[in-house]
Amino acid sequence: MKAHTKWLTAPLAAGLSAALLSGCGTEQGGGSASGDGVRVGMSDEILATDPAAGYDPGSWLLFNNVFQSLLAFPKGGSAPEPEAADQCAFAAGSKVYTCTLREGLTFSNGNKLTSEDVKFSFERALKIADPSGPAPLLATIDSIETPDERTVVFRLKVPDATFPSKIASGAGSIVDHREYPADALRTDGKATGSGPYKLDSFSETEATFSANSGYRGTAKPKNGGVTLKLYRGDRAALSKALADGDIDVAYRGLSAGDVAALEASDTTDDRGIEVVQGSSAEVQHLVFNMKDPVVGKLGVRRAIAHLVNREALVEDVYKSTATPLYSIVPAGIAGHNTAFFDTYGAPDKAKAKKALREADITGKVKLTLWSTPSRYGPATDQELKAIAGQLNDSGLFDADVKSVAYDQYEKDIAAGTYGVYVKGWVPDYPDADNFTAPFFGEGNVLGNHYENATITGSVLPKTAATADRAATADEYGKLQDIVADELPVLPLWQGKQYAVARDDVTGLEWTLDASTVFRFWELKKG
């Protein structure tokens, strides 16, 4: 997995353990593609329309609505269920995965969808291996066989019980082998899939979608189409568009202050606007370079862990639109524990001082915290300044904050320039594996030179081979305890996911869950 792939791009923290929801009314049951179109705005960009290249929230929003995967995450659920497939099953100790396709599948252009297209799509993503693409998620695939038009057999290099979740994500998007080159990206800005929607037009500022009448799957569209307005990081424009009635839904882009103000306002209901809160699992961590001459010392890292006040951060900086995070695996994901709270407890200056003295450090520790608001939102600088203030108020640190553009930030991390820096994470799929293997496995995305033989040699292989995901809790607990003790990272917060909508829109509660799938088909206007 690449270091710049699914790192958090949301301007808000987004991801809560709690169940759904509050806000807009619930529209339950099935339905056909009818009703008014819905106008959705977001501040993210769509960086790719080709599933072999996109690995960002905006692109995956497009993929999840235009393309089918063999499996998909049901609304409110974390266990993948059949979608383009009629059924799928493991054999040979989680090393062989066989799927049978639904009958009558076609792409939006009328072409028949067969096992040849499935094999082509996965092999293509792996062959192209675009640096900004999802190929790392598919790395356990050894070979793919298609004994007939409806059967696909994946043979894996190693047991991988999370393979169903991986292919239920945007990485599993199925493309038409007649319209996509096998060894290059499609460059015309079009997308041909078999999902519930067709991409009718796409530009830097707008994408339009219409219901796909030939779709065969589990989704039941409740609208005739969606117009997606792209505000490209301009949160003020997004907020104004909602207030002016130019869009029906604002998704991924309002600031923490905007959301908090709307939730607290007595006039929100009068203006016909509702705030909808859902569950997700986006997180943010401080990362420590283990080779740095300052934070490479465990005593310094432990002192920081004893001083950071997460409660103050989420209240003062994020206006309670996030919750404190005390482990690597966030709340709401099976295997979560509270290892960092158990190890370090509430902020304690005396314990921080003791950690430094035990490391023979008697003077103030000079430290720079590195930030990149262009990637993680403007509150990131404010957050790190608050952390620096907490450290300095103890009298044990002399900390400051420096902020750079994202491209330079990633280059400097790769070069080992920074000692302490911030990283956020958007999950690819709602499983503890996706919060551990990318961080602590081989070639991890943190770039902080951390290695632990127990994690890489025992815990990760064992959990990857365990088909019963509930049975992995003890092993993931062990991993989280190790990380809390050795401190290569310090979890900070887990966000809450929000959308703000006009009160004639229903169904938003089914688009905001830990799968991070924004389901166009659940939205209904009027």
How much is the average pLDDT of 249-266?
Answer: 74
Mean pLDDT to the nearest integer, 107-118: 98
Residue 375: band (very low, low, confident or very high) from pLDDT cuts 50, 70, 90: confident
Residue 381 has pLDDT above 80, yes or no: yes
- Picking from 87-101, 120-134, 253-267, which range would have the lowest pLDDT averaged per residue? 253-267
Average pLDDT of the segment spanning 168-176? 96
Q: Is the dihedral of CA 352, 355, 361, 367 positive or negative?
A: negative
Report whether the peptide linkage leading into residue 185 is cis, meaning its omega lies within 30 degrees of zero: no
Mean pLDDT of the chain: 89
> pTM for the complete prediction?
0.83
pLDDT number for residue 276: 87
Q: Among 266, 254, 243, which residue's Cα sits nearest to residue 502?
A: 243
Dump pLDDT digits (tens) for 307-331.
Answer: 999 999 999 998 888 899 999 999 9
Helix ranges (DSSP H) in 327-434:
339-344, 349-358, 373-376, 379-393, 406-414
Beta-bridge partners for 151: 100, 148
Mean pLDDT confidence for 251-278:
73
E strand or H helix that includes residue 172: none
Rounded Cα gap, residues 526 and 20, in angstroms? 22
DSSP 3-state of 69: coil
User: Count of CB atoms within 10 A of residue 479's CB?
Assistant: 30
Cβ neighbour number for residue 144 with a 10 Å cutoff: 18
Tens of pLDDT, residue by residue over 461-493, are 999 999 888 899 999 999 999 999 999 999 999
| Stretch among 24-38, 244-258, 285-299 having the lowest mean pLDDT | 24-38
User: Closest Cα partner for 201 from 192, 190, 193, 212?
Assistant: 190
Please say if the pLDDT value at position 75 is more than 50.
yes
Using pLDDT thresholds of 50, 70 and 90, give the confidence band for residue 371.
very high
- How many whole angstroms from its chain centre is CA 188? 27
pLDDT at 277: 83
pLDDT score for 9: 37
Q: What percent of the chain has pLDDT over 90?
A: 71
